Structure 1
Amino acid sequence: GAEAVLAALREAILWPLLHAEDAAALGVRWPRGVLLHGPPGVGKTAAVRAVAAEAGAVVHALSAGDIFGPYAGDSEARLRAAFRAADKDAAAGRPAVLLLDEIDAICPARGAGGDGSLHGSRVVAQLLTLMDDGADDVADLDKNNKGDARRVRRRRRLARPTVVATTNRPNALDTALRRPGRFDIEVEVPLPSVAQRCDILRLHSRALPLAADVNLPAVAAKAKGYSGADLAGLCREAAMAAIRRAASATSHWPADASSALHSQSAAAAGPADASSALRDQSAAAAGAAA
């Protein structure tokens, strides 16, 4: 469930950020990277941001659109710049998380089994180097400590940013990224349970004037396989169904319709609206899968 995911993320993200000195004293080397995987819309990115916020960490977020550029070398340079910024935050004592969103689009598998191009292969190679060695030489990391390279090296080793990646397709990643020393920890973010779906529906429908006979637990039970994003869309569609019904009750737009839409009885979302929204989303999902 969601709490288990958050607990795993706290251990993987918060502990290295907050207890680096303690771990060093015990000879423990924290894992460098964390990989979150699960269906689209389950809140992987939101979970990372929530846990990072608990530590007051700076989040440096990157997606494929942020990295890939039109010229040779652009992508590698942008990746290095992101690691450099996160490294400097961490070295300055500011907890830092580098978030690679939808990493399967950034680092697809290389070779015959994957769809990685030559360009993509260079990006994968650059990311592997950065995961292993960081973005800068020690002397470049902190120019105010040129005479004390040993202390700078120690601080950098203890205060490296945590690299977190999200993906909907973990098996599409280059296998080198999942070897020890890279993304050592993998956390699966599952679809919500029926109880969690009910909670999500309550959250997204709290501003809606629901009819008295709307049974959210029953709607949640019918919405098996829905993600949090799907359920948010379901509530929006139910609201739109209520608006369409209210608007169709008058032949004068907009004045009469505006009055109708502000009527609790006319615009309240009812069971029929929820059922209509479920049908529409199921049809859309079937069309996407075809």
Structure 2
Amino acid sequence: MTETVPAVPSATAATYVFAVCRRVDEDVLARLPGITTAPVRALPFERLRAVVQEVPAAEAGRGSWTERLSDPGELERCVRAHHRVVTAVAAHGPAVPMALATIYSSEERARQALGDGAARFHTVLERVDGRVEWGVKVYVPSAAGVSSAAGAGRTAVPASVPGGSPASGAGRAYLERVRGAHRAREESRRAALLAAEETDAELRGLAVAARRLRLQDQQLTDGHRAQVLNGAYLVEEGRTARFREAVAALRERTGALIELSGPWVPYSFASFAGEDALHGDR
């Protein structure tokens, strides 16, 4: 590990901040591409280090980044680059990940604003030290999927039979199929909601902290399932195996579709970081 040497800030550059940590390995940072072609480096402040990169001032405005991130390809590139830097930093010690596109108008402004929040950074670093984030999602088959399955082989219902009498038998059968599909959807959803509550309650008991995140739109899944739980759990690294075993046991016991992802840098437990700095000074 080498000692951080403060860089001379450029008057024509803004400062993009990836993460805040206690210490960094400059050799690791030097190998990271980041968002732009400028070097990824450390910016010291209040016994902490911010991992930063210069961004051309002309491209650092809110409007410029809003337009830039509206392009799906560019958004994916920036998200991947941001996450790659944060993950590399967190591999060498606790880190507070900053929000995507956290940009200050200058290095001095970044140092000042981050310094103002130093106490909070120290608190979060203590909270996440030796811990990782796991994501757990519970799904239910979508209404469309259930109704399609229930209606397989359905035939058209004639309005009448010869002589003008209603096709009462066919009509009753049709209505029963409709009611059956509706019951199947409701029962499937109730079972998934109960599984979600059971899953969340049990996993909270194994976590240091937990958050229920906003449910993702069905279009973001495979289109055949709806999300009923989107949970984030902060878990001691030493309890990772126990946590994974608990998820497997819940799958078997509830029969629910439970998806486990991680371990991640604890983004969900450092969400305050960068809220006042997003897209630069206001």
Same structural fold, with TM-score higher than 0.5 when normalized by the shorter chain: no
Max radius of gyration: which structure?
A: 2
Question: Shorter-normalised TM-score: what interval?
Answer: under 0.3
Q: Please state which structure has a larger fraction of its residues in strand.
A: 2
